[in-house]
Amino acid sequence: MTDGPEFANAGLHGYVSDVVLPDLERSGLALSGAHVLELGAGSGSFATRLAQRGASVVAADLESGGYADYSGPGEFVALDLNTQGFSAAFHGRTFDVVVALEVIEHLESPLGFLREAAALTRPGGYVVLTTPNVDNFPSRVLFGLSGQLRGASATDDPGHISPILLWTFTQRVVPRTGLRLEQQWRYPPRGFLPGPGLKRRALTAAAPLLRKAGLHGDNHVFVLRK
């Protein structure tokens, strides 16, 4: 059971909690007792999952309104993630894991945000991010037809102001942050989220071929390490 709504694609929180984090534990991270910071914690839904796994949680987001109205566990820090140098609000504290799910695409400076997240991560710790996959096959088709990216188009959330392109992010942005890319996952791992309509059915049918080409998935999940 989790508190509050999940402001993400259906099942994404569960995938990170039940697949990605256990994979990190197999690599040596002890999540039980770990100090975890969630940036852009929203209602507290994912923070609740973290607490259920034994983590000591600190959550940060806007004080109220929009995606905030935090009702999850642990300490809450009111914070605007567009503020330059926001890591200073934590007074030198660092964390074993910093999590930001469906946040970076809403921010004015993804590079600046990631540098601040790195400053809040202890040496050897992890940063876990998710963001809409604007590199998948339907996004490429949409861009070719309209010059817009799926997940950041006229019909998507108007708060998606900084779409994250895979190559630019991994090859140009991450190396400037003091972090390194450990893993990059796609969610759903075998294709696309199901849904009504001919387009979704066609994507589901084409998923095996698109998966081989790396053109599947509605979201990227990045695991970075300091």
pLDDT over 80 (residue 201): yes
pLDDT over 60 (residue 3): no
Phi/psi for 29 (5° steps) reads -75, 125
- pLDDT at 1 (0 to 100): 43
- Measured CA to CA in angstroms, residue 200 lies from 10, 175, 207, 212 at distances of 15, 35, 10, 18
Here the tokens at position 143 are: 């861009």
Of 153, 178, 177, 154, nearest to 163 (Cα)?
153
Write the pLDDT tens digit of every residue in 68-102: 678 899 999 999 999 999 999 999 999 999 999 99
Please state, for a pLDDT cut of 70, what percent of the chain lies above it: 96
Beta bridge partners of 128: 99, 223
Please state, for a pLDDT cut of 90, what percent of the chain lies above it: 86
- pLDDT at 70 (0 to 100): 86
Mean model confidence pLDDT for the chain: 93
pLDDT over 90 (residue 112): yes
From CA 34, how far away is CA 56, in angstroms rounded?
Answer: 6
- In the predicted model, what is the mean pLDDT of residues 101-128? 98
Q: Alpha helices of 16-80 — where are they, by DSSP H?
A: 21-26, 45-52
Write the pLDDT tens digit of every residue in 119-154: 999 999 999 999 999 999 999 999 999 999 999 999
- pLDDT at 152 (0 to 100): 93
Peptide bond into 208 cis (omega under 30): no
pLDDT interval class at 63 (50, 70, 90): confident
CB count in 10 Å sphere of residue 127: 25
Q: Could you tell me the pTM of the whole model?
A: 0.93
Here the tokens at position 37 are: 């910071």
